[in-house]
Amino acid sequence: MSTPALKIYNTLTRTKEEFRPLDPANVRMYVCGPTVYDYAHIGNARPLIVFDVLFRLLRHLYGAEHVTYVRNITDVDDKINARAAERGISIRELTEETNKVFQADVKALGCLEPTMQPRATDHIAQMIAIIERLIASGHAYAADGHVLFDVPSMPNYGRLSRRSLDEMIAGARVDVAPYKRGDMDFVLWKPSKENEPGWDSPWGRGRPGWHIECSAMSWAHLGETFDIHGGGIDLVFPHHENEIAQSCCAFDRDVMANYWMHNGFLQVEGEKMSKSLGNFVTIHELLHTEKFGGRKWPGVVLRYAMLTTHYRQPIDWTVERLKVSLKHLNDMYDRTRHAKTGACPNERVIQALRDDLNTHEVVVALGKLVGDAFREAKFSDELLATCAFLGLDLEELDPKKTIVSETQMLIETRIEDRLAARASKNWAESDRIRDELTAMGIILKDHKDGATTWEVKR
């Protein structure tokens, strides 16, 4: 089998390298997923879209059945505990609700489902197993119900972020704790109080640190060493550095993943996104409210807008960018309305993606296809196929569909309201919402697992 050329920029070596999978029959990629305590913001959408494009490209190059893409769900974390307490709901309710919105958001962004979406709480046994290996090999120690990774025990710690231990100590907000031997030592396991989620372990009832979750889930589903590990640039240090330390030391390997890929930062209207600046915007708000630029944005516009800048460059998320993207997409929709399916995606687009996902060049190639189709006054089958390949669903721009989806959204919002009413045992409100939907001709069905589905009365 001839290996198709694909070049990707590897953060480990700081160079663009030819991609050579360990096993072309099973190309393996891991991307750090969400911590499900709050809605995902538009900065979180960037890795989702970037690595989805890579997933699609790998499937195209190696065959769909030869690519395994794992994106985890972090469902145990102190932020989750705090938010559940604040809202007066159980941790399970919070993580289920947040994950549901997350899955809907990612789908709306045109992303394929990863091969697997493992949950941290289903991998506690693997985390404990890794921690035991680390203790046995002298890379971790237990103290005071905690287990810590002994950073000085790993000579090349800091290889990914290219920082020396001295620099890291000087730059870190070091959390001084009596049970720590070294300033940079990080938590693998910590004790849980009565009211905190916890699991039995050789070190008492407790819960994992964040970094160990990804080492455990990638090991469980992709093995000790795999091909690509991705995430946002903000994860390079300490999260990815610590994943490497844990996995390499536990399995006595030089590498955890051969290629480390990181997408650049996202800012909003020229400023760092923050709740205090009031420019914080979630994917859900962009899709379903008029908070950003005074209108709702179809997922296809958000996806396309994200691809107009190369993934390693910083991106400025602006209303203007979305407007321009919408215009380009409407032109593409116009030129594909009566196009036939089944053509091959544009070769220039595939070539551009093979060059470290050069999506800026992809946008230029799409513009050329649109321009040609207008000039020749024809519909472009190739453009349609290329958009489908890129996950750009132009049908979302059909004005009729927008109306249908708005009604659906209204129904689903009311179902969420009703579930919230039921969760707080407000049966009167729950019944009122059911009656309101019945009057619209919508029949609700409550299922045993707590979910509610709906259908139109016939």
Inter-residue contact 382 to 344 (CB < 8 Å): yes
Kindly state the smallest distance separating residue 87's Cβ from Zn ion, in Å. 26
d(CA 119, CA 75): 6
Q: 290, exposed or middle or buried, with CB in 10 Å at 0-12, 13-18, 19+?
A: exposed
Task: Tell me which stretch binds Zn ion (CB under 5 A): 31-39, 142-150, 194-202, 286-294.
Answer: 31-39
Nearer to Zn ion, 112 or 236 (CB): 236
Q: Where are the alpha helices (DSSP H) in 151-224?
A: 165-171, 210-222
Locus of tokens 């006595």 = 252
Residue 50, by phi and psi: left (phi above 0), alpha (psi -120 to 50) or beta?
alpha
- Which residues contact residue 211 at a Cβ distance below 8 angstroms, ignoring those fewer than 6 apart? 186, 188, 238, 239, 242, 243, 246
Task: Tell me which stretch binds Zn ion (CB under 5 A): 157-165, 208-216, 385-393, 396-404.
Answer: 208-216
C-alpha closest to that of 79 among 218, 172, 210: 210
Q: Where are the alpha helices (DSSP H) in 137-194?
A: 165-171
Q: Which runs of E-coded beta strand occur in 202-248? A: 206-208, 226-232
Nearer to Zn ion, 32 or 40 (CB): 32
Nearer to Zn ion, 232 or 299 (CB): 232
The sign of the CA dihedral 333, 334, 335, 337 is positive
Nearer to Zn ion, 244 or 286 (CB): 244
Kindly state the smallest distance separating residue 256's Cβ from Zn ion, in Å. 11
Kindly state the smallest distance separating residue 243's Cβ from Zn ion, in Å. 6
Task: Tell me which stretch binds Zn ion (CB under 5 A): 27-35, 190-198, 360-368, 403-411.
Answer: 27-35
d(CA 26, CA 113): 17
Q: Work out which of 135, 154, 214, 349 binds Zn ion, going by CB under 5 A.
A: 214
Instruction: Report the site for Zn ion in 127-166 (rule: CB under 5 A).
Output: none
Nearer to Zn ion, 32 or 84 (CB): 32
Task: Tell me which stretch binds Zn ion (CB under 5 A): 20-28, 207-215, 252-260, 358-366.
Answer: 207-215
Nearer to Zn ion, 214 or 315 (CB): 214
Nearer to Zn ion, 260 or 297 (CB): 260
Q: Work out which of 6, 8, 12, 32 binds Zn ion, going by CB under 5 A.
A: 32
d(CA 297, CA 294): 10
Regarding 228 and contact with Zn ion (CB under 5 A), the answer is no
Instruction: Report the site for Zn ion in 173-192 (rule: CB under 5 A).
Output: none
Kindly state the smallest distance separating residue 12's Cβ from Zn ion, in Å. 16
In this structure, which amino acid lies at residue 309? T
Nearer to Zn ion, 72 or 336 (CB): 72
Instruction: Look up residue 447 and give its DSSP letter.
Output: -
Nearer to Zn ion, 154 or 214 (CB): 214
d(CA 367, CA 453): 41
d(CA 314, CA 454): 42
Angle at Cα 272 formed by Cα 270 and Cα 273, nearest 5°?
110
Kindly state the smallest distance separating residue 214's Cβ from Zn ion, in Å. 3
Q: Which runs of E-coded beta strand occur in 52-139? A: 67-71
Tokens standing for residue 406: 């708005």
Task: Tell me which stretch binds Zn ion (CB under 5 A): 24-32, 88-96, 293-301, 449-457.
Answer: 24-32
Nearer to Zn ion, 32 or 57 (CB): 32
Kindly state the smallest distance separating residue 156's Cβ from Zn ion, in Å. 20
Task: Tell me which stretch binds Zn ion (CB under 5 A): 84-92, 102-110, 211-219, 442-450.
Answer: 211-219
Cα 137 to the chain's mean position, in Å? 33
Enumerate binding residues for Zn ion (CB under 5 A): 32, 214
